[in-house]
Amino acid sequence: MLAFWLDNGGPWDVLRGWTQLDPDTRQSYLDAYHKAGKIVLVSAFGATEWPTRDGIDPITSANRIADFVIQFGLDGVDVDYEDSDAFNAGTAEQWLITYTKTLRLRLPASRYTISHAPQAPYFFPNSYPGGGYLAVHKAVGGMIDFYNVQFYNQGSLSYDTCQSLFYDAQGSSVFEIARNGVPLNKIVVGKPITHQGAVNSGYMDPWKLAACIPDAKAKGWSGGVMGWQYSLDPSFQWISAVSSQL
């Protein structure tokens, strides 16, 4: 994942460095990732961007990032939409639906990946006037390859046990989300790699997290795990512990 694309600023952070590489160097990196079975996505928005609240047009925004993906040879987009005010106002859902449709029109599934990275509570049933992410999934879930669900930084909903992460979190655990219509193979468990990766809650020791996986897999879950973030695991201890059970 290359972070971030900011709608009001274009490429940022590592992504800006990507644009400054010469074409041959960029391609050599892409070839190495692809040879290893990996894809490279650009992450759009993030916790400091509120595109719906700020009046950003979803069609224009989606076309801008699609142009960028195509120009710089990336494999798709991860939509990290965290405009909570818009969800509470009932305006987020249609914005995301339009944005996703536009992205998929420009980035066909035969070549590109589109994922979303919602906060887990956005899947609460009957909690948002527009339906939250369940409404987004109902409308365009077939265009979304998977959800990198943020099971962290949600205050008292810490998702820090097998029970609360996978089975019982007021409607926002993995299997509760699935019971409300999202396929288990599209629900990726996003967790912070270290305490430093979590602003307030959600960290689990990697061995504790890994211990949850066999039971969840036996019950049909196959979405995988996302770690936030790669740079916090320089010795690969976290990924080794978690991947040992995937």
Query: Hey, where are the domains in the chain?
Result: 2-243
Average pLDDT over residues 48-69: 94
Residue 228's closest CA among 194, 186, 188? 194
β-pair partners for 227: 191
User: Distance of alpha carbon 98 from its chain centroid, rounded?
Assistant: 18
pLDDT-derived band at 111 (thresholds 50, 70, 90) equals very high
Q: What whole-number distance in Å separates Cα of residue 162 and Cα of residue 241? A: 16
- pLDDT tens for 3-55 read 544 455 555 566 778 888 899 999 999 999 999 999 999 999 988 899 999 99
Burial of 47 (0-12, 13-18, 19+ CB in 10 A): middle
Whether the CB-CB separation of 160 and 198 falls below 8 Å is answered with: no
What gap in Å lies between CA 160 and CA 153, rounded to an integer? 11
3-class secondary-structure state, position 60: helix
Q: Hey, which bits of 119-243 come out as E strands?
A: 146-150, 187-192, 225-228
**Residue 183 DSSP one-character state:** -
Cβ count near 132 (within 10 Å): 24
Q: What band does 1 get if pLDDT is binned at 50, 70 and 90? A: low
CATH assignment, 2-243: 3.20.20.80
Output the six-digit token pair for 141.
Answer: 């879930």
Spatial separation of the C-alpha atoms in residues 174 and 149, rounded to whole Å: 9
User: Do 52 and 92 contact (CB within 8 A), yes or no?
Assistant: yes
| The model's pTM | 0.94
